[in-house]
Structure 1
């Protein structure tokens, strides 16, 4: 499971809103605060870069699907049709999930057909997608 940005922020809130029991003082509480701080930093990166990464990724997948339609069937043209019009994270993620399922189906068809050129193009896209969604870990204090 990949938690969404709102899930992470709500989790941080719930973690910090509940008063700690006396036995969780000291190092345990410091660790808890450190984890919440790290998640908050990663969430900030996601809030900054996430929407543009999703818009780019959705367009890139649509282009691959549309390009493959002639060779692999109209279902991929249909899957690749459209553009993002709702730019909320939830809407972008729903569109992305559907597009990824279609991309996986196309990749399976490409591998079965032995289409090495298109296979490598899809593999490059996977790498670009991972890079676009990369979150940078900060240096940890005291390390």
Structure 2
């Protein structure tokens, strides 16, 4: 058997919300059941897209670091950028992708704090690219809310 995890979670969400919750008399239990169901719905989405979202973010950050190498003068930061830019994922486990993503975002913050102090067209363009990436990443991680209508 190969369960379709998103389908199982979404079906369970529907059962909890539409069949179980209406038959519970205690308000607290109804609310709790509904929240658990909603978490199952959102978990289904994250299960389906989680690795792609993280891997895509990591690729984009590495491309930003590759662009930044020529702009940054500090040798230590240059070395970190070069190492990160040449990196790649060695695992598709979400926990490993998250760890990599966290390290890369830490370096992105370090880079952005340096770039924001620079006054050149290239630095401004890179800073704009970083902000665009952050906005796109936030949008890509939004969790859907189910339509029950």
Q: How does 1:9-88 map to 2 (within 5 A)?
A: 26-72=26-72, 73-88=78-93
Larger Rg: 2
Cross-structure match for 1:105: 110
**TM-score, normalization: structure 2?**
0.74
For residues 14-42 of structure 1, the C-alpha deviation after alignment (integer angstroms, 9 at most, x for no partner) is xxxxxxxxxx9611100000000011111
Distance, in Å, in 2 between the alignment partners of 1:90 and 1:25 is 39
How far apart in 1 are the matches of 2:67 and 2:124?
15
Unaligned runs of 5+ in 2: 1-23, 73-77
Instruction: Provide structure 1 residue ranges, at least 5 long, that are not aligned to the other structure.
Output: 1-23
What SS is found at the alignment partner of 2:147? Answer: coil
CA RMSD across the alignment: 1.9
Quote the Cα distance in structure 2 between the aligned partners of 1:46 and 1:71. Answer: 36
8 Å CA contact 1:69–1:75 kept in 2: the answer is no
Corresponding position of 2:97? 92
User: In structure 2, what is the Cα distance between the partners aligned to 1:118 and 1:29?
Assistant: 50
* 118, 131, 138: which one aligns with 1:130: 138
Runs of 4+ in structure 1 off by over 3 angstroms are none
| Alignment-derived partner of residue 17 in structure 2 | none
Calculate the TM-score normalised by the size of structure 1.
0.77
- TM-superposed CA distance for 1:109, in Å, is 0.6
Aligned to 2:11: none
**Once the 2 structures are TM-superposed, how far is the Cα of residue 140 of structure 1 from its aligned partner?**
5.8
Once the 2 structures are TM-superposed, how far is the Cα of residue 74 of structure 1 from its aligned partner? 2.8
Q: Is the 8 A contact 1:57 1:129 kept in 2?
A: yes
| Residues matched between the structures, number | 119
